[in-house]
Structure 1
C-alpha cells in the first residue's frame, strides 16, 4: 500500500489540508496519508499524524518557534521536517509527498522535498507562487508545481477543483512509485551523464548514439543551463550515474562573470569526489549567457555579443576570463579528484563550440589558447591526463574518440586515440 506524506501549516491551512487529504483518499482509497504539521503554533487534530510539538521535540531539541521571526520559523520547521521525512524515506514507508500553501509554505515544503527526497521520488506542491519564477523553488530537483489560481485561504469551488486534481495526481504517482520500488528494474546498463548546450548538440548527439549503439550504456543528457549542471551533480551524489562525459562546462563562465546560467561554485565537484570515470571538455566556455540584449549588464555593453535567440544573448569570453575558467577547472579537479587516474580533460583546439570555429562569430584564437595553456599548466604533475586535440568539439570523429576514452576508463574496452 502506498503512503503519501502531506506537509502543511495546520495552524493556518488545516481546512485546506484536510480537504487535500480527503481528495487523495477519494481518488485512491488504498493510499494512506501521513499529515505533518509544520506550523508556527501547534494544532491538535485527530488527522495530524506528526504534530508540530512532536517534530520540535524529536528533531528541534524541544525549542519553541512561536516567538521567532517568520524566516526563522520557516527555517527551523523545514529542518525538523526534513529529518522526519528522511527517516520515513529510509524506512521505506512513504511513496509520495505533497504540500499546499502560499509563499512561506511553499518555501518550507520545497526545502524539505529538495533536501530529503531523491530525484524520481514523487513530490508536488500546490502553490500561490507556482506561476512566477519557480527556479528557487524547484532548483535542480523534479518537484511538480500546480498553481492554486486562488489563494489557499478558505475553500471555494476553484480551490476544491485544484486540490482534487492535485490529490488524484499525487495518489497516482505514489502508487506508480510503490509498484516500481517493489519490482526494481532489471537493466544492468551503465548510466552515463553527458552535458549539452545548443552549440555542442551535434557532438553530444554523436557521443550518445555511439555509446548506446556500441555498448550496454544508457545516457542521461543534461542541458547546461545552470539547473542542468546542478541536477547532474546531485544525481551523481545520489549514486544515480556510473560515469560522466562532461563535454559542456559553459556554466563555469556564467558563475565567474555573472551570467544567468550559473550552476554555482560547486560545479565539477561531485564526479571528482565520487571517483567515477570522468572525461571533461571545455564545451561552450567561449560564452556567458544573458537574456534579451537589453538585459546585458552595462559593463558588458561594448563586448562581443551574439543573439542566439531573441531571448538569449551570448557574450564572448575574453582572454582573461578564459584564464579564469581554466583556473577554476584545474583547481576543482586537483582539490577534489579522489582518483586522478579516472579523470581526463580533452581540449578541442579546432573550436570549443559551434560558433567558435575559425570562421565562426566567436572565433578568438588568443582566448582559446589562453584557456588551453592554463588547463595544461594547471594540471601538470596532478596525475590527470590532458588531451590536446586538433579537431573541433562537434567533429564526429572527436565525438567518437572522446566517447571511447570514457569507455576505456569504464573498463568496457574502448580506445584513447586522438589527433
Structure 2
C-alpha cells in the first residue's frame, strides 16, 4: 500500500454517503482524506473543505463560491479541484460520488492523475455514454442504481462494494514483471488484423506489443500511453482515424491525432492502413452529402464508405504535415498492393486509381530527411513481405 485514499464529493448533498465510504476505507486500514467540492453550503466535517478547494482556483475563492449560477460555480469548482489535486503529493487512489454536477467536477481531476493510479467514480450517469468523463483514462465507473440521495439497504451495499474495490486496488500489489523488452504501441482495425498478427508474432519475443483498436478511442489511448512515456515506439499501421476526422466519420480520434509524435519525438513506424474507408453507424446515419457513394455493410450497425482519390489526397496531406513536425525518426511505409482487406483484387473497395492518388500525395507532402523516410513497397498491407519490411524498420529504429 502506498498513498492516501481521497474521497471526493459534494458534502452539501451527499455527506452521509461520503462519510460512509470514508469509514469503510479507514476500516480497511487505509489513510483517508475527504474532500468537499460542494458549491452551496460548505461542510464542517470534511478533511478538506470546499473553501480550501475553491481557494485553489486561479482567480481565488470568490470565483467559485460567488460564481452566481450553479453552472458557473460547478465549472469554477472543476478548475479549482484540478489545481488542488495536482498539489497533493500523497494520492494513492481516488473515489468520487456524484450526479451530473459532481461527476463533472471530479472526473477531470481523475483524468490528470497517472495511468495506473486507482480511480473509481460512482456516478448516476454511469449507465449511459461515459466517454466525456473517462476519455482515454483508466477510470472505473460504477452505477449506483439508486440516486445518491441518502443511505438505504441497496445503496449501502453498492457503496460498500465501491469502497472495497478501491481498497483492493490500493492494497493489492500489481505483480512485478521482470520484462525488460521495449514496449511498442500498434494500431489495428479488423481489415488490418493479419498485418498486426504477423507483426506481433515476429516481434513478440523481443518487444512487448500493445495493440490498440483504431476506432477513435483506441487512437487517443495509443497516443496517451505514448505521451506518458510508457512506449519506446509506435507501430502505427492503421491510420484510418484520420479519414474519419476529416470526412465526418464516427471513428475519429480528433484533430490531435499524430501530435504526440511531434511533441515527444517518439520513433514512429507507420502506414496508411484502412484509409480506403470512412466509418458510419447504420445506413440511416450516413450524411445526405454522401448518398450514392460506394458502401459496405460491415455489420448491422457499422457501414463503411470507400474514400475517393480527392479525399485521399487531402488525408495524405494532413497526415504528412503532422509527421513532418516530428523531431524524431519517422518511417512511413506505403503498401502499393492495397491498404486493407477490402482493398485487394476482387474485393469491394479495390480501387488502384484512388490508392495511386493517395501514394502520390504522400510523395508530394511528406518531407524526407536523414531521419524521415518514405518507403514504397509493391505489396498489400497484409502480405508477409510487407510485414517483414515493417519488422526490419522497427528493429533498426528501436533496438531490442
* TM-score category, normalised to shorter length: over 0.9
TM-align CA RMSD: 1.7
Quote the Cα distance in structure 2 between the aligned partners of 1:25 and 1:381. 59
Question: What residue in structure 1 maps to residue 326 of structure 2?
Answer: 337
Quote the Cα distance in structure 2 between the aligned partners of 1:58 and 1:103. 22
Give matches, 1:31-42, under 5 Å: 31-42=30-41
Q: Check whether the contact 1:272–1:338 (CA below 8 A) recurs between aligned residues.
A: yes
Question: What residue in structure 1 maps to residue 102 of structure 2?
Answer: 105
Of 118-127 and 59-68, the range deviating more from structure 2:
59-68
Question: What residue in structure 1 maps to residue 86 of structure 2?
Answer: 86
1:8 and 2:9 correspond: yes
Quote the Cα distance in structure 1 between the aligned partners of 2:342 and 2:56. 56
Quote the Cα distance in structure 1 between the aligned partners of 2:228 and 2:145. 35
Of 272-281 and 369-378, the range deviating more from structure 2:
272-281
Question: How much does 1:117 deviate?
Answer: 0.9
Q: 1:76 to 1:142 in 2, by over 3 A?
A: same
Question: How much does 1:330 deviate?
Answer: 0.7
Quote the Cα distance in structure 2 between the aligned partners of 1:308 and 1:118. 36
Quote the Cα distance in structure 2 between the aligned partners of 1:7 and 1:236. 29
Question: How much does 1:329 deviate?
Answer: 0.6
Give matches, 1:223-372, under 5 Å: 223-334=213-324, 336-339=325-328, 342-372=329-359
Question: How much does 1:184 deviate?
Answer: 6.1
Question: How much does 1:44 deviate?
Answer: 3.2
Question: How much does 1:59 deviate?
Answer: 4.2
With the length of structure 2 as denominator, give the TM-score of the two structures.
0.95
Quote the Cα distance in structure 2 between the aligned partners of 1:274 and 1:150. 45
Quote the Cα distance in structure 2 between the aligned partners of 1:395 and 1:76. 54
Question: What residue in structure 1 maps to residue 365 of structure 2?
Answer: 378
Quote the Cα distance in structure 2 between the aligned partners of 1:218 and 1:325. 30
Q: Check whether the contact 1:60–1:76 (CA below 8 A) recurs between aligned residues.
A: no
Give the SS at the match of 1:199: helix
Q: Check whether the contact 2:36–2:43 (CA below 8 A) recurs between aligned residues.
A: no
Of 398-407 and 256-265, the range deviating more from structure 2:
398-407
Aligned length: 396
Question: What residue in structure 2 maps to residue 51 of structure 1?
Answer: 49
Give the SS at the match of 2:65: coil
Of 100-109 and 16-25, the range deviating more from structure 2:
16-25
Q: Check whether the contact 2:57–2:76 (CA below 8 A) recurs between aligned residues.
A: no
Question: What residue in structure 2 maps to residue 71 of structure 1?
Answer: 71
Question: What residue in structure 2 maps to residue 409 of structure 1?
Answer: 397
Give the SS at the match of 2:212: strand
Residue deviations 1:315-339 (CA, integer Å, cap 9, x gap): 11111110111011111112x2112
Give the SS at the match of 1:282: coil
Quote the Cα distance in structure 1 between the aligned partners of 2:162 and 2:271. 42
1:62 and 2:60 correspond: yes
Give the SS at the match of 1:345: strand
Question: How much does 1:74 deviate?
Answer: 2.3
Question: What residue in structure 2 maps to residue 417 of structure 1?
Answer: none
User: Which stretches in structure 1 are left out of the alignment for 5+ residues?
Assistant: 413-419
Q: Check whether the contact 2:297–2:303 (CA below 8 A) recurs between aligned residues.
A: yes
Quote the Cα distance in structure 2 between the aligned partners of 1:202 and 1:280. 15
Question: What residue in structure 1 maps to residue 122 of structure 2?
Answer: 126
1:153 and 2:149 correspond: yes
Of 14-23 and 389-398, the range deviating more from structure 2:
14-23
